[in-house]
Structure 1
Amino acid sequence: MNVEQLLNHYGYLAIFIGSILEGETILTLAGFFVHKGYLLFVPSILCATAGGMIGDQVCFLLGRYYGTRLLQHFPKLDPLVEKTNRLLCKHSSIIIIGVRFMYGLRIAGPIAIGMSKVSFSRFLLLNALGALLWATIIVSFGYLFGQSAQWLFTQFQQYTKLLFALILLIAVIVLSIYWYSKQRRNK
């Protein structure tokens, strides 16, 4: 099986599963494969949105029903939960939409939100919006990365001989300076 066949059979499933917990790396790769024509843009975004939503909904429910017990077992999460709660009091809608973009709060954020007074339906709606925005941005980034990488490699191939000659010239100059200074120190 080649890469194209693997992506055709398992690409969208990989995006979905990868988006449940983390996802940025998987989505960047998905965008790259969209650029290469192995995957389609909209289905990639929809799979990522669904995976991201499900992962956050599970964390929300964990926070809602088991939050206190989780904090007892994982005390390292306590400062992250407190940070999320402080932010949530001030800007709940923005926090719910943007928590997946905040480094270190991807899992702890929805747990903390689940422990708060935010309703399930409100979180579901704002989480869906945040997941769609997140998936679109990251897959688009991967697509643009693929476009830029293709241009860069094309340009690189055109100037390979010149670059090699330049590196060789720099190496000769550096070695000559080293040899000359070593000779001077020995005298």
Structure 2
Amino acid sequence: MCYTYCEVSRISGGELVGFIHHYGYIGLTAILILGIVGLPLPDETILTAVGYFVYKGSLLYFPSLFFGILGGLLGITLSYALGVFIGRPLVVRYGRYIHITEKLLIRVEQYFEKYGAVTLFGGFFIPGVRHVTAIVAGLSGIPYGKFAFPSYLGVCVWVTVFITLGRFAGPQIAGITGRLTMTEAAWILAVMALSGFLGLILVKTMVNRQKS
């Protein structure tokens, strides 16, 4: 089972899930890098499927989180670098091959004007936007430090939410009953609570800066 960059963009969600099932954590990392950089992949569905594999015992929860977050971090950093080093003319010219259009760039730029760096965090939960926010940040000359914190926090929350959702929904997907152990549940709640807390601090900080 071997896929090129272009072939991955044409295969179905089910085939992508099979790709991850075959290649495991490395497959998960690769798919998320490609999806965040711009290929039209059903990232949320894939992450939820990974959670289901965790429920079934094919993958482990914390390694899945680690490699999922790693793929997200690499993908979003690569997108930012494309914006910084390639520049707008080349992004507009070749971006259409990965579904990045001038219209979409303008739309995300308007989000930045209205919401500032909060867009980098919230953009992860908007399909079709998350891979463009980092490129726009690079094109806009936003310093790496200001880009990294909200973007990387967004990656952590986004990956954790959907893999955990798949893990919890596993019994419903399989049609049987199953529960997390107390230790697993405690870790999940702790991670999600911390991520939510940091996200609220970020949003509040950015909104205050916008008002000042």
TM-score (normalizing by structure 2) = 0.63
Equivalent position to 1:114, from 125, 138, 141? 138
In our comparison, the structure showing a higher alpha carbon Rg is 1
Deviation by residue 1:81-104 (Cα, 9 ceiling, x = unmatched): 111111112222321112222121
Q: State the SS of the aligned residue for 1:107.
A: helix
Equivalences, count: 149
TM-score (normalizing by structure 1) = 0.70
Contact 2:95/2:101, CA 8 A, preserved across alignment: yes
Contact 1:15/1:47, CA 8 A, preserved across alignment: yes
Give the drift of 1:17: 1.0
Structure with bigger helix share is: 1
Equivalent position to 2:82, from 58, 62, 71? 62
CA RMSD of aligned residues (A): 2.5
Equivalent position to 1:19, from 32, 37, 57? 32
Larger relative contact order, structure 1 or 2 (CA cutoff 8 Å, min sep 6): 1
Deviation by residue 1:42-98 (Cα, 9 ceiling, x = unmatched): 111111111011111111111112132221344661111111111112222321112
Q: State the SS of the aligned residue for 2:175.
A: helix
The percent identity for this pair of structures is 28
- Residues 1-40 of structure 1 mapped to structure 2, 5 A cutoff: 10-22=23-35, 23-40=43-60
Give the drift of 1:151: 3.1
Equivalent position to 1:53, from 63, 73, 79? 73
Give the drift of 1:106: 2.8
Contact 1:85/1:112, CA 8 A, preserved across alignment: yes
Q: State the SS of the aligned residue for 2:86.
A: helix
Give the drift of 1:12: 1.0
Which residue does the alignment assign to 1:97? 121
2:92 maps to a residue whose letter is L
Distance (whole Å) between structure 2 residues aligned to residue 36 and residue 152 of structure 1: 11
Q: State the SS of the aligned residue for 1:39.
A: coil
2:93 maps to a residue whose letter is Q
Contact 2:20/2:28, CA 8 A, preserved across alignment: no
Distance of aligned partners of 1:115 and 1:12 in 2 relative to their CA distance in 1, 3 Å threshold: same
Give structure 2 stretches of 5+ with no counterpart.
1-18, 36-42, 178-212
